[in-house]
Amino acid sequence: MTLPVPTAVQTRLMPVFPFMGCYGQPQAVALTPAPVYEVCPHCKREVITHRFMTGAFTNRTFHCREHGDVVPMRSAICNAPL
């Protein structure tokens, strides 16, 4: 003979999956963020950074082997170098 288990107790005893929402719907899972690279906007290859001082200021310029001086973009996608 089994006694009826109250609904509140049944809910607490159910397995809890961190990726499931309260209604059993899958939710977005926080993944480890992908590394972000500074890449050439044309070929998505990582740029070479040159740093130099001008007076009290530190300046940076960015160079792509194929496209020359570029303004880089930050991207999680980075193609293999030439």
Rounded Cα gap, residues 29 and 31, in angstroms: 6
Q: How far is the CB of 51 from Zn ion (least distance, A)?
A: 20
- Residue 27 to residue 5: CA distance in whole angstroms: 29
Q: Given the rule CB under 5 A, which of 2-10, 33-41, 50-58, 73-81 is the region that contacts Zn ion?
A: 33-41
- φ, ψ for residue 7 (rounded to 5)? -60, -40
From residue 57 to residue 76, the character string flagging contacts with Zn ion as x (rule: CB under 5 A) and all else as - is -------x-xx---------
- The answer to the question of residue 78 lying near Zn ion (CB under 5 A) is no
